[in-house]
Amino acid sequence: MDRRRPPSYAVLVSNNAGPYALTEEHEAIREAVREIAEREVAPFAAEVDADSRFPAEAQKALTAAGFHATHIPEAYGGEGADAIATCIVIEEVARVDASASLIPAVNKLGSIPIILSGSEDLKQRVLPSIADGRSMISYGLSEREAGSDAAAMRTRARADGDVWVLDGTKAWITNAGISDWYTVMAVTDPAKGARGISAFVVHRDDPGFAVGPKERKMGIKGSPTCELYFTDCTIPADRIIGEPGTGFGTALRTLDFTRPTIGAQAVGIAQGALDAAVAYTRERRQFGSAVSDFQGVQFMLADMEMRIEAARHLVYVAAARGDAGGADLTRVSASAKAFASDVAMQVTTDAVQLFGGAGYTQDFPVERMMRDAKITQIYEGTNQVQRMVIARSLLR
């Protein structure tokens, strides 16, 4: 594969979404993660996909290097990395295996509600075990009949003395069964609609909690996706995140901070596909010449590169905006996620085309990358929903 690195950005980029600059530390993180990804993750990626098994090798390597949950603040034993650094980690892992990139990505998704709204006691109870790699955490918002319309959820939670009791089902939960902790949204006051939804932290050992069978998926097969079942699931009263009724707001704020990580995953998948396509077209010969000598192929490669670079910039802008704050964070994050994931789908499709018949086989990684890319257009809000979010922000 072509091992070229994305260029080092020495300039400060600024627009109405706020400035960002890649530092020497960011570039050092990229180099370190890429080395680990190519040595410890890439050799198992095809097997992980074929066997639909969790990438334990990647988990071990990323945890040993401190790249499994870089976003957790130092106060809770974490690295305290900024959002761009976390995006770089996810991007570089996704470049070789999208399933493995969901280890740092979902650790952030599951823990951000606690970081944003949890009590200090709850943070101290949950975050250190994620920071040191003893535990992982997942995020439970969606249900079969409450996907894009998440506020229509039916999972309920009722107070009973010094405990909360949860009943219901959550669907499409990433890394379910692997994680020990789960951030779960449930209705506590049905009469209040979205303002009657609260957020809770559930542990895998809590009575009444169970994980369903793995979904049979098109892509990211190494990351288990399952339902969560709550049957009179009893948790301590102090495991509520924030005040009752604030859960849906916390869920939406969480997505503002995590949608750029899906954009980063998409950029990584696309970069991996481009690298593979460049290497293959240099080696493949037709009509007495390398396929890469043909102008039509060169134009395809050039378009792929331009789109990836544009997506990478937008993802980093959104990540930096999350750290800086601002009224337009929701719009910029939605833009980064939608644009980058659309780019990933287009780039991986073109990569398969450039490989020809070989690209349609499992002998090369681009067919896996194409399947993996598709989910980035769907989860954490479909790209149709992202466009609604963007338009409403502009028109408000």
For 97, list phi and psi in degrees, rounded to 5. -160, 105
The pLDDT value given to residue 1: 39
CB atoms within 10 A of CB 7: 10
| Domain ranges for the chain | 24-131, 137-245, 248-395
Which DSSP letter does residue 52 get? T
Buried-exposed string 217-242: b where 16+ CB fall within 10 A, e elsewhere? bebbbbbbbbbbbbeebebeeebbbb
CB atoms within 10 A of CB 329: 22
The pLDDT value given to residue 19: 64
Q: pLDDT of the chain along its 396 residues, tens only?
A: 344 444 443 334 444 545 688 999 999 999 999 999 999 999 999 999 999 999 999 999 999 999 999 999 999 999 999 999 999 999 999 999 999 999 999 999 999 999 999 999 999 999 999 999 999 999 999 999 998 998 999 999 999 999 999 999 999 999 999 999 999 999 999 999 999 999 999 999 999 999 999 999 999 999 999 999 999 999 999 999 999 999 999 999 999 999 999 999 999 999 999 999 999 999 999 999 999 999 999 999 999 999 999 999 999 999 999 999 888 999 999 999 999 999 999 999 999 999 999 999 999 999 999 999 999 999 999 999 999 999 999 998
**Fold type of domain 24-131:** Butyryl-Coa Dehydrogenase, subunit A; domain 1 (1.10.540)
The pLDDT value given to residue 15: 44
Give residue for tokens 């994680």: 179
The pLDDT value given to residue 147: 87
The pLDDT value given to residue 5: 44
Classified as helix, coil or strand, 145 is coil
**Strand ranges inside the chain, DSSP E:** 137-140, 156-160, 163-174, 181-187, 197-203, 209-214, 225-236, 240-241, 285-286, 289-290
Q: Which residues are catalytic?
A: 380
Closest C-alpha among 396, 368, 380, 367 to residue 340: 380
Closest C-alpha among 48, 141, 33, 15 to residue 85: 33
The pLDDT value given to residue 377: 98
Q: How many Å from the N-terminal Cα to the C-terminal Cα in the chain? A: 46
Let me know if 21 is exposed, middle or buried by CB neighbors in 10 A (0-12, 13-18, 19+): middle
For 137-245, CATH gives 2.40.110.10
The pLDDT value given to residue 325: 87
- Report the alpha-carbon distance of residue 163 to residue 161 in Å, rounded: 6
Give residue for tokens 């295996």: 97
Structure tokens, 385: 């929903």
CATH superfamily label, 248-395: Butyryl-CoA Dehydrogenase, subunit A, domain 3 (1.20.140.10)
Closest C-alpha among 127, 82, 91 to residue 323: 82
The pLDDT value given to residue 338: 98
The pLDDT value given to residue 375: 98
Classified as helix, coil or strand, 289 is strand
The pLDDT value given to residue 6: 46
Let me know if 23 is exposed, middle or buried by CB neighbors in 10 A (0-12, 13-18, 19+): middle
Residues 6+ apart with CB under 8 A from 211: 176, 177, 204, 226, 227, 228, 229
